[in-house]
Structure 1
Amino acid sequence: MPLPDPVPRPLDHLAERGRGGDAALVLRGETLSFDELRTRVAALAGWLRALADEDGARVASWAAKGELTCLLPLAAARAGLVHVPINPLLKRAQVAHILSDSGSKLLIGTPARLATLEDGDVPAACRALGENEALDAARNADEHLPPSDRNTDELAAILYTSGSTGRPKGVMLSNANMWLGAVSVASYLGLANDDVTLAVLPLSFDYGQNQLLSTWYAGGCAVPLDYLTPRDVTKACVTNGVTTLAAVPPLWVQLTELDWPAEAVASMRRLTNSGGALTEDLVRKLRGQFPQARLFPMYGLTEAFRSTYLDPALVDTHPTSMGKAIPFAEILVIGDDGRVTSPGEEGELVHCGPLVAQGYWQDAERTAERFKPAPAQSEYGGTAVWSGDRVRRDEDGLLYFVGRRDAMIKSAGNRISPQEIEEAVLATGLASEVAAVGVPDPRLGQAVVLVVRGGGDEETLRAALKRELPNFMQPRDVVWVEAMPLNPNGKIDRNALQAEMARKEAA
Structure 2
Amino acid sequence: MEGKTPHDLLATAASTWPDAIALRTDSDEWTYAELDYAASEIAGRVPAGERIAFRAELTPATVAAVWGVPRGGGIAVPIDPGLDVTAAAELSASLGATMGWPEHIDQIRSERDPVPDAPALVVATSGSSGASRGVILTFGNIVSAAFASQLHLGSRRGDVWLLAMPLHHVAGLAILWRAAHDGATVHLQRGFAAEPFAAALAGDVVWTSVVPTMLRRLLAARLDAPRLRGMLVGGAHVPSDLLAEALSRGIPALATYGMTETCSQASTVLPGQEAASVGTVGFPLPGVAVAVDAAPGEIGPISISGSTVATGYVDQPSRSGPLQTNDLGYFDAAGRLVIVGRSDEVIISGGENIYPQVVERALCFVAGVSDAVVFGVADDEWGQRVVAVVEGTGIDEDSVLGAVEGIPQYAKPKQLRVVESLPLLPNGKIDRNGAKDAF
TM-score by shorter chain over 0.5: yes
Alpha-carbon distance between aligned partners in 2 of 1:145 and 1:68, rounded to the nearest angstrom: 21
Query: Which residue matches 1:492?
Result: 430
Q: Is the counterpart of residue 255 in structure 1 residue 193 in structure 2?
A: no
Q: How does 1:107-506 map to 2 (within 5 A)?
A: 107=100, 127=102, 148-227=112-191, 229-238=193-202, 241-260=204-223, 262=224, 265-290=225-250, 294-305=252-263, 306-334=265-293, 341-364=294-317, 371=319, 383-458=321-396, 459-465=398-404, 467-498=405-436, 500-501=437-438, 504=439
Query: Which residue matches 2:57?
Result: 64
Change (3 A) 1:89 1:442: farther
Query: Which residue matches 2:94?
Result: 101
Q: Report the Cα offset of residue 489 of structure 1.
A: 2.0
Alpha-carbon distance between aligned partners in 2 of 1:33 and 1:174, rounded to the nearest angstrom: 25
Over the matched positions of the two proteins, sequence identity in percent amounts to 27
Change (3 A) 1:11 1:89: same
CA contact under 8 A between 1:15 and 1:37: conserved in structure 2? no
SS at match of 2:58: coil
Query: Which residue matches 2:39?
Result: 41
Q: Report the Cα offset of residue 93 of structure 1.
A: 4.9
Partner amino acid, structure 1, of 2:237: A
In the superposition, the TM-score normalised over structure 2's length comes to 0.91
Q: Report the Cα offset of residue 179 of structure 1.
A: 1.3
CA contact under 8 A between 1:438 and 1:449: conserved in structure 2? yes
Structure 2, unpaired ranges of 5+: none
CA contact under 8 A between 1:83 and 1:156: conserved in structure 2? yes
Partner amino acid, structure 2, of 1:73: V
SS at match of 1:83: strand
Alpha-carbon distance between aligned partners in 1 of 2:393 and 2:421, rounded to the nearest angstrom: 12
SS at match of 1:90: coil
Alpha-carbon distance between aligned partners in 2 of 1:144 and 1:34, rounded to the nearest angstrom: 22
Change (3 A) 1:324 1:237: closer
CA contact under 8 A between 1:98 and 1:160: conserved in structure 2? no
Alpha-carbon distance between aligned partners in 2 of 1:104 and 1:80, rounded to the nearest angstrom: 14
Change (3 A) 1:440 1:308: same
CA RMSD, 1 decimal:
2.4
CA contact under 8 A between 2:298 and 2:330: conserved in structure 1? yes
Q: How does 1:18-97 map to 2 (within 5 A)?
A: 19-27=17-25, 29-46=27-44, 48-49=45-46, 52=47, 54=48, 56-97=49-90
Q: Report the Cα offset of residue 442 of structure 1.
A: 2.4
Q: Report the Cα offset of residue 173 of structure 1.
A: 0.5
Q: Report the Cα offset of residue 18 of structure 1.
A: 5.2
Structure 1, unpaired ranges of 5+: 1-6, 109-126, 130-136, 335-340, 374-382
Alpha-carbon distance between aligned partners in 1 of 2:370 and 2:337, rounded to the nearest angstrom: 25
CA contact under 8 A between 2:9 and 2:181: conserved in structure 1? no
Q: Which has the higher helix share?
A: 1
Give per-residue Cα distances to partners, 1:159-217, cap 9 Å, x unaligned. 11233444421001111011111111122222222211111111111111111110121
Alpha-carbon distance between aligned partners in 2 of 1:362 and 1:416, rounded to the nearest angstrom: 35
Partner amino acid, structure 2, of 1:71: A
Alpha-carbon distance between aligned partners in 2 of 1:73 and 1:177, rounded to the nearest angstrom: 15
Partner amino acid, structure 1, of 2:361: E
